[in-house]
């Protein structure tokens, strides 16, 4: 496509004359540039993956630390509850409550019936 003049002197801005569909062969410089761009993209992608994986490791470390802290808290609470259960089940406490609050008395030997 080129600028041309018609036989009558009129200007024709574009013509379809000229090489069509011909492509220039890719030279060594173009191949080298393409290879360099691909290597650079690979390097950037690898670096981003490495940074992402390190961030994930740190984040998982924090989650593990928080889970261990929660486990210690729950273990402490479990121990306190077991001590409270043992205290509430003690025979001395139950006897004291029966005598003081419920006004119960120990049975006399003749009131006791043994069942076998």
Q: pLDDT per residue over 35-74, tens digit each? A: 999 999 999 999 999 999 999 999 999 999 999 999 999 9
For the cut 70, the answer to whether the pLDDT of residue 26 exceeds it is no
Helix 91-100 vs helix 28-89: crossing angle, to nearest 10 = 50
Provide the residue ranges of all domains of the chain, joining segments of one domain with +: 26-103
Query: Residue 40 forms beta bridges with which residues?
Result: none
Q: Is the pTM of this model over 0.75?
A: no
14 confidence band (pLDDT: 50, 70, 90)? low
Output DSSP code: residue 114: -
- Say if residues 106 and 91 touch (Cβ distance below 8 Å): no
Distances (CA, A) of 23 to 34, 85, 100: 18, 89, 108
Average pLDDT over residues 17-32: 67
CA 78 to chain centre: 29
1 confidence band (pLDDT: 50, 70, 90)? very low
């Amino acid at each position: 496509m080129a600028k041309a003049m018609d036989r009558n002197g009129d200007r024709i801005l574009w013509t379809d004359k000229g090489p069509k569909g011909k492509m220039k062969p890719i030279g060594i410089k173009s191949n080298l540039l393409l290879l360099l761009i691909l290597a650079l993209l690979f390097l950037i992608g690898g670096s981003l993956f490495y940074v992402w994986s390190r961030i994930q490791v740190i984040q998982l470390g924090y989650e593990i630390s928080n889970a261990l802290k929660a486990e210690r808290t729950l273990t402490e609470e479990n121990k306190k509850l077991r001590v409270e259960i043992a205290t509430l089940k003690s025979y001395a406490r139950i006897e004291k409550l029966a005598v003081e609050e419920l006004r119960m008395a120990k049975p006399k030997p003749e009131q006791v019936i043994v069942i076998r």
